[in-house]
Structure 1
Amino acid sequence: MNRKPCPPRWPDKLLTWLIAPHLHEEVLGDLHERFHRRAERLGGIKARRRYWREVLAYVRLSFIKRKPSAYSKPTNTDMISNYFKIAFRNLVKNPAYSFINIFGLATAMAVAMLIGLWMYDELSFDKQPKHYDRIAQLWQFVKFDAEKSSYAVLPIPLANELRSKYPDFESVSLAVSREAVLDATGNQKFTKIGKYVEPGFTKMMSLTMRTGTDAGLNDVNSILLSESTAAAFFGSANPVNQLVKLNNKRNLRVSGVYEDFPSNSTFSDVSFLAPWKLFVAIDAGAKDSQNKWDNNDYQIFAQLKPGADFEEVSAKIKDIRMKMDNPPGYKPEFFLHPMRKWHLYSDFKDGVNTGGLIVFVWLFGIIGSFVLLLACINFMNLSTARSEKRAREVGIRKAVGSVRSQLVVQFFSESLVLSLLALVVSLLFVGLTLPFFNQMADKQMTLLWSNPGFWLSALGFSLLTGLIAGSYPALYLSSFQPVKVLKGAFRVGRFAAVPRKVLVGFQFTVSVTLIIGTIIVFRQIQHAKDRPVGYNRSGLIEIRMNTPDLYGHYESLRSDLLGTGAVAEMAESDASITVQNGGMTNVSWRGQAADLRPLMMSNRITHDYGKTVGWQVVAGRDFSRKFSTDSAAVILNETAVKLMGFKNPIGEIITWGGAKYTVTGMVRDMVRESPFEPVKPSFFVLNYEAANTIHAKLAPQLPAREALAKVEQVFRTYSPASPFDYKFVDDGYARKFGHEERIGKLAGVFSGLAILISCLGLFGLASFMAEQRTKEIGIRKVLGASVFTVWRLLSKEFVVLVIIAFCLAAPLAYYVLSDWLQNYEYRTELSWWIFAASGIGALVVTLLTVSFQSIKAALVNPVKSLRSE
Structure 2
Amino acid sequence: MFRQLDIRSWLTFLSRNRLYTAVNFIGLALALAFVLLVADYTARQLTVDSYQTKADRIYAVCSEESVASGYYLQKYLRDRYPEIESTCAVAFFEDSDAGTTPVEIGRQKFLASVLHADTTFFRMFDFTLLEGSREEALAARENVVLSESFARKVFGTFNPLGQTLRVDNDERVYVVSGVMRDIERSTIPAADIVMRAERITETNAANDERMSNSGAGVTFLLARKGANLQAKVPDMLAFFKEIYWPYIGNVVQQVRLIPLRQLYFEPTNNTYRLAHGSRSFLYILLGVGLVVLVFAVMNYINLTVAQAGFRAREMAARRLLGASRGDIFLKWMLESTLFCAAALLFASSIAELFVPWASQLLGTKVAVWNDFSVPVAGWCLLAVVVLGVISGLVPALLVARYQPIDIVRGTFRRHAKTVYGRVLIALQNVITIVLLAVSITIGLQIRHLVNAPLGYETHDILDIETSIFPDRSAMRHFCDELRSLPEVEAVGLGCGTPHDRGNNNTVLYGPDRMVSFQVFIGDSTYFRMLGLERLRDNHVADADGSAASRDFWASNVWYINQYALRELGIAEDAPEFKVGENLSQPIVIAGIYRDFQVGSALDAPTSVLLRVVKNPDDFQPWNILVKTGRDHAAAYRAVEELFQRTTDGATFTGRYVTDEIADDFAAQRRLLHIVGIFTLVALLISSLGLFAMAAYYIQQKRQEIAVRRVFGASRREMLTRLVRSFMALVGVAFVIAVPIAVWGLRRWLEEYSVRIALSPWIFLAAGIFAAIVALLSVGWQSRRAADADPVESLKN
Summarize deviations over 1:726-772 as a string: whole Å, max 9, x none: 34434333322222111110110101111211121112221121111
1:472, distance to aligned residue in structure 2 (A): 0.3
Corresponding residue number in structure 1 for 2:643? 712
Corresponding residue number in structure 1 for 2:525? 608
Contact 2:87 2:219 in 1 (8 A): yes
Correspondence 1:748 to 2:663: no
Alignment of 1:308-323 (within 5 A): 311-322=230-241
Q: Structure 1's 281 and 845: CA in aligned 2 closer, same or farther, altered over 3 A?
A: closer
Distance 1:122 1:757 in 2: 28
Corresponding residue number in structure 1 for 2:311? 390
Q: Structure 1's 724 and 753: CA in aligned 2 closer, same or farther, altered over 3 A?
A: closer
Correspondence 1:693 to 2:622: yes
Distance 1:790 1:310 in 2: 78
Q: Structure 1's 621 and 787: CA in aligned 2 closer, same or farther, altered over 3 A?
A: farther
Corresponding residue number in structure 2 for 1:30? none
Corresponding residue number in structure 1 for 2:551? none
The residue matched to 1:217 in structure 2 has which SS?
Answer: coil
Corresponding residue number in structure 1 for 2:608? 682
Summarize deviations over 1:321-346 as a string: whole Å, max 9, x none: 22569932324422122322333332
Corresponding residue number in structure 2 for 1:635? 559
The residue matched to 2:255 in structure 1 has which SS?
Answer: strand
Corresponding residue number in structure 2 for 1:28? none
Summarize deviations over 1:84-143 as a string: whole Å, max 9, x none: 2122112112111111111111111112112212222322334443333433322113xx
Task: Write the letter of the residue equivalent to 1:852.
Answer: W
Correspondence 1:377 to 2:298: yes
Correspondence 1:333 to 2:261: no
Task: Write the letter of the residue equivalent to 2:35.
Answer: A
Distance 2:317 2:470 in 1: 92
Alignment of 1:570-649 (within 5 A): 570-575=491-496, 577-586=498-507, 597-612=514-529, 614-617=530-533, 619-620=535-536, 628=544, 632-644=556-568, 649=572
For residue 199 of structure 1, the aligned residue among 107, 119, 127 is: 119
The residue matched to 1:250 in structure 2 has which SS?
Answer: coil
Distance 2:332 2:467 in 1: 70
The residue matched to 1:447 in structure 2 has which SS?
Answer: coil
Question: Structure 1: which 5+ runs fail to align?
Answer: 1-73, 142-149
Distance 1:818 1:349 in 2: 24
Deviates more, 1:619-628 or 1:165-174: 619-628
Corresponding residue number in structure 1 for 2:552? none
TM, length-normalised to structure 1: 0.80
For residue 107 of structure 1, the aligned residue among 25, 30, 37 is: 30
The residue matched to 2:664 in structure 1 has which SS?
Answer: helix
Correspondence 1:661 to 2:583: no
The residue matched to 1:318 in structure 2 has which SS?
Answer: helix
Task: Write the letter of the residue equivalent to 2:558.
Answer: V
Corresponding residue number in structure 2 for 1:70? none
1:282, distance to aligned residue in structure 2 (A): 4.3
Alignment of 1:723-734 (within 5 A): 724-734=652-662
Contact 1:171 1:302 in 2 (8 A): yes
Contact 2:36 2:351 in 1 (8 A): yes
Contact 2:562 2:592 in 1 (8 A): no
1:469, distance to aligned residue in structure 2 (A): 0.9
Give the structure with higher Rg (CA): 1
Distance 2:525 2:637 in 1: 24
Q: Structure 1's 727 and 85: CA in aligned 2 closer, same or farther, altered over 3 A?
A: same
Question: Structure 2: which 5+ runs fail to align?
Answer: 547-554
Distance 2:181 2:499 in 1: 28
1:576, distance to aligned residue in structure 2 (A): 5.2
Distance 2:187 2:399 in 1: 54
TM, length-normalised to structure 2: 0.87
1:468, distance to aligned residue in structure 2 (A): 1.2
Distance 1:773 1:204 in 2: 72
Q: Structure 1's 259 and 623: CA in aligned 2 closer, same or farther, altered over 3 A?
A: farther
Alignment of 1:30-41 (within 5 A): none
The residue matched to 2:113 in structure 1 has which SS?
Answer: strand
Task: Write the letter of the residue equivalent to 1:320.
Answer: F
Task: Write the letter of the residue equivalent to 1:88.
Answer: L
The residue matched to 2:624 in structure 1 has which SS?
Answer: strand
Give the aligned length. Answer: 766
Corresponding residue number in structure 2 for 1:796? 724
Corresponding residue number in structure 1 for 2:489? 568
Summarize deviations over 1:379-407 as a string: whole Å, max 9, x none: 21122223433333322221221100100
Contact 1:572 1:606 in 2 (8 A): yes
Distance 2:496 2:43 in 1: 36
Task: Write the letter of the residue equivalent to 2:588.
Answer: Y
Task: Write the letter of the residue equivalent to 1:297.
Answer: A
For residue 86 of structure 1, the aligned residue among 3, 9, 18 is: 9
Summarize deviations over 1:231-265 as a string: whole Å, max 9, x none: 34433333222222233333334252232433543
Distance 1:325 1:414 in 2: 68
Task: Write the letter of the residue equivalent to 1:546.
Answer: S
Correspondence 1:290 to 2:195: no
Contact 2:104 2:165 in 1 (8 A): yes
Corresponding residue number in structure 1 for 2:74? 159
The residue matched to 1:218 in structure 2 has which SS?
Answer: coil
Deviates more, 1:358-367 or 1:687-696: 687-696
Corresponding residue number in structure 1 for 2:550? none
Summarize deviations over 1:260-284 as a string: whole Å, max 9, x none: 4335434434222222334334433
Contact 2:206 2:213 in 1 (8 A): no
Alignment of 1:410-449 (within 5 A): 410-448=331-369
The residue matched to 2:737 in structure 1 has which SS?
Answer: helix
Contact 1:112 1:368 in 2 (8 A): yes
Contact 1:223 1:272 in 2 (8 A): yes
Corresponding residue number in structure 2 for 1:21? none
Distance 1:349 1:536 in 2: 27
1:184, distance to aligned residue in structure 2 (A): 4.5
Contact 2:501 2:598 in 1 (8 A): no
For residue 405 of structure 1, the aligned residue among 317, 322, 326 is: 326
Correspondence 1:763 to 2:691: yes
Distance 2:194 2:180 in 1: 12
Q: Structure 1's 804 and 753: CA in aligned 2 closer, same or farther, altered over 3 A?
A: same
Correspondence 1:475 to 2:397: yes
Corresponding residue number in structure 2 for 1:271? 192
Contact 1:124 1:264 in 2 (8 A): yes
Q: Structure 1's 337 and 622: CA in aligned 2 closer, same or farther, altered over 3 A?
A: farther
For residue 750 of structure 2, the aligned residue among 818, 822, 828 is: 822
Contact 2:543 2:557 in 1 (8 A): no
The residue matched to 2:331 in structure 1 has which SS?
Answer: helix
Contact 1:587 1:655 in 2 (8 A): no
Distance 2:604 2:251 in 1: 20
Task: Write the letter of the residue equivalent to 1:676.
Answer: L
Q: Structure 1's 490 and 263: CA in aligned 2 closer, same or farther, altered over 3 A?
A: same
Contact 1:522 1:744 in 2 (8 A): yes
For residue 461 of structure 2, the aligned residue among 534, 540, 550 is: 540
Summarize deviations over 1:486-529 as a string: whole Å, max 9, x none: 4x363555697233322222211111111111111111111111
The residue matched to 2:369 in structure 1 has which SS?
Answer: coil
Summarize deviations over 1:20-76 as a string: whole Å, max 9, x none: xxxxxxxxxxxxxxxxxxxxxxxxxxxxxxxxxxxxxxxxxxxxxxxxxxxxxx6x4
Q: Structure 1's 429 and 552: CA in aligned 2 closer, same or farther, altered over 3 A?
A: closer
The residue matched to 1:608 in structure 2 has which SS?
Answer: helix
Distance 2:337 2:214 in 1: 64
Contact 1:213 1:257 in 2 (8 A): yes
Corresponding residue number in structure 2 for 1:520? 441
Contact 1:653 1:662 in 2 (8 A): yes
The residue matched to 1:569 in structure 2 has which SS?
Answer: strand
